[in-house]
């Protein structure tokens, strides 16, 4: 009985000490200077601070881990070279290397492509493409390998860049559709739906 009474007193003291250390819940003083008068500016400020309100919980998709699939240049390169077997596709190293590839009607000639990413931006100098040709004798014993960066490398670069631009446009449209908050400044009289 004495033990339980001492335990109750100690427990009560701990509770009182923890409560006295906390400040009472006081309303925070708010100044009109903290909130811009323009609604677009308030929305922008709230988004930057991580605040927001969405009806019915909004987008509950949670965190998405896109990694390489969110890079349109990388995705376009893999889609363009998808007919060839890959030896290496290293996103962090920024390189894609195909295996030797030949058509059924020409087993003595094969091609190997190496794509190095110099930038993640979609521009003409973002990729360094090397094309290697291997020509072998009829019995496939004597083979010679030569680097052949002619029009094929330029055409491949152009094809990848076109696909990447298309993928980036689709990705931006999807983000605009998923994000109900306006981004950027609108001029007076401009309607967001005109874009």
Is residue 158 within 8 Å of 125, Cβ to Cβ? Answer: no
Q: Confidence class of residue 52 from pLDDT cuts 50, 70 and 90?
A: low
Q: Which two tokens stand for residue 147?
A: 């680097």
Q: Confidence class of residue 175 from pLDDT cuts 50, 70 and 90?
A: confident
| The pLDDT of residue 193 is above 60 | no
Which pLDDT value is given to residue 114?
94
Mean pLDDT for 28-55 is 65
Tokens 């019995």 appear where?
139
Domain boundaries, the chain: 67-176
| The pLDDT of residue 163 is above 90 | yes
Burial class (CB in 10 A: 0-12, 13-18, 19+), 65: exposed
For strand 95-98 and strand 109-117, is the pairing parallel, antiparallel, or unpaired? antiparallel
Q: Name the DSSP letter for residue 91.
A: T
Pick the residue with more confidence: 192 or 173?
173
Quote the pTM value. Answer: 0.56
Is residue 36 within 8 Å of 45, Cβ to Cβ? Answer: yes
Is residue 127 within 8 Å of 77, Cβ to Cβ? Answer: yes
Q: What is the pLDDT of residues 137-156, one digit of tens each?
A: 887 778 888 888 778 889 99
96's enclosing H/E stretch is strand 95-98
d(CA 41, CA 155): 46
For strand 109-117 and strand 127-136, is the pairing parallel, antiparallel, or unpaired? antiparallel
Mean pLDDT for 118-133 is 90
The dihedral through the CA atoms of 74, 62, 49, 58 has a sign that is positive
Q: What is the pLDDT of residues 54-105, one digit of tens each?
A: 544 444 444 444 455 678 999 999 999 998 999 998 888 889 999 999 887 7
> What is the spatial order of strands in the sheet that 86-90 belongs to?
86-90, 95-98, 109-117, 127-136, 143-147
Mean pLDDT for 25-49 is 66
Is residue 117 within 8 Å of 127, Cβ to Cβ? Answer: yes
């Amino acid at each position: 009985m004495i033990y339980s009474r001492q335990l109750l007193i100690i427990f009560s003291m701990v509770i009182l000490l923890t409560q006295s250390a906390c400040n009472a819940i006081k309303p925070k003083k708010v100044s009109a200077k903290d909130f811009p008068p323009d609604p677009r500016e308030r929305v922008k400020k709230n988004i930057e601070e991580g605040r927001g309100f969405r009806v019915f919980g909004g987008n509950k998709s949670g965190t998405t881990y896109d990694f390489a699939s969110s890079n349109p240049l990388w995705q376009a390169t893999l889609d363009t070279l998808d007919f060839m077997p890959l030896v290496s596709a290293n996103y962090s190293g920024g390189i894609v290397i195909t295996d030797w590839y030949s058509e059924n009607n020409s087993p003595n000639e094969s091609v190997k492509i190496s794509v190095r990413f110099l930038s993640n931006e979609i521009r003409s100098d973002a990729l360094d493409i090397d094309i290697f040709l291997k020509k072998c004798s009829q019995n496939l014993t004597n083979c010679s390998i030569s680097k052949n960066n002619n029009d094929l490398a330029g055409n491949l670069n152009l094809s990848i860049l076109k696909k990447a631009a298309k993928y980036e446009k689709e990705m931006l449209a999807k983000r605009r559709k998923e994000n109900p908050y306006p981004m950027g400044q609108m001029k007076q009289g401009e309607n967001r739906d005109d874009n």
